[in-house]
Amino acid sequence: MVCGRTRQRLVDAVCSAYDRADGSYQAEYHYYPREFFEPYLGRRRKSGWGLYGLLGIQKGETERMRAQHRKNFEFFGAPVGLMFSIDRRMEQGSWLDYGMFLQNVMLAASARGLATCAQGAWIDYHRLIADLLKFGEQEQLVCGMALGYPDPEAPENTLALDRAPLSEYVVVHD
Ligand SMILES: Cc1cc2nc3c(=O)[nH]c(=O)nc-3n(C[C@H](O)[C@H](O)[C@H](O)COP(=O)(O)O)c2cc1C
């Protein structure tokens, strides 16, 4: 967990690396496939344009898109940041367990009137983060998370994403 001065040091370091954009930082693992394909490509575009639409960002406004993405590295203004790591020797099953753990953290926060945003965006800067937070040799960054009070007025928080109907992903064998 980072707050206060350490949060600020982390935000400053990662924001300046992001601004340099010199390609020297790379994610340690691929959160997403290297190339999107259907139906995920269409869904991703739809949610992306839904968000940009709410923010008034048009196609081709790459600077504004970058500025929006950069907000990840300020924890979207949240006063507390969480960085999650896993022992890199663990296998896929433990990553599943980890996902449940993340969800529990988010639900626990929500039950207390707080809000979270899980953030895969940080993984590009895992070396910098591991250095700053003095990770052990076997610690691998899974993701970050912003934790704070929700701002229901913020346009991005009014985005309501579709859910695929059950019939699209459940096969009933009777
Ligand atoms: C593990 C994980 C990583 C995510 N990474 C990011 C991120 O880097 N930046 C971001 O803005 N949202 C990120 N998201 C948040 C999703 O965009 C968010 O859950 C979604 O917008 C909320 O949609 P829902 O309310 O329809 O579930 C991530 C979510 C998860 C679960």
| Closest ligand 1 atom to Cα of 122 | 8
For position 5, what pLDDT does the model report?
98
How far lies 136's CA from each of 124, 141, 161, in Å?
Answer: 18, 11, 38
Nearest Cα to Cα of residue 89 among 137, 38, 45, 125: 137
For position 25, what pLDDT does the model report?
94
* CATH fold of the domain at 4-161: NADH Oxidase (3.40.109)
For position 160, what pLDDT does the model report?
92
Residue bearing the CA closest to ligand 1, atom 26: 161
Q: Please state, in angstroms and rounded to a whole number, the distance separating the CA atoms of residues 137 and 10.
A: 19
Ligand 1 site, residue 85, Cβ cutoff 6 A: no
pLDDT tens-digit profile, the chain (174 residues): 999 999 999 999 999 999 999 999 999 999 999 999 999 999 999 999 999 999 999 999 999 999 999 999 999 999 999 999 999 999 999 999 999 999 999 999 999 999 999 999 999 999 999 999 999 999 999 999 999 999 999 999 999 999 999 999 999 999
Ligand 1 site, residue 147, Cβ cutoff 6 A: no
Cβ atoms of 130 and 122 within 8 Å: the answer is: no
For the question of whether the overall pTM of this predicted structure is more than 0.85, the answer is: yes
Q: Please state, in angstroms and rounded to a whole number, the distance separating the CA atoms of residues 52 and 65.
A: 8
Q: Please state, in angstroms and rounded to a whole number, the distance separating the CA atoms of residues 135 and 162.
A: 38
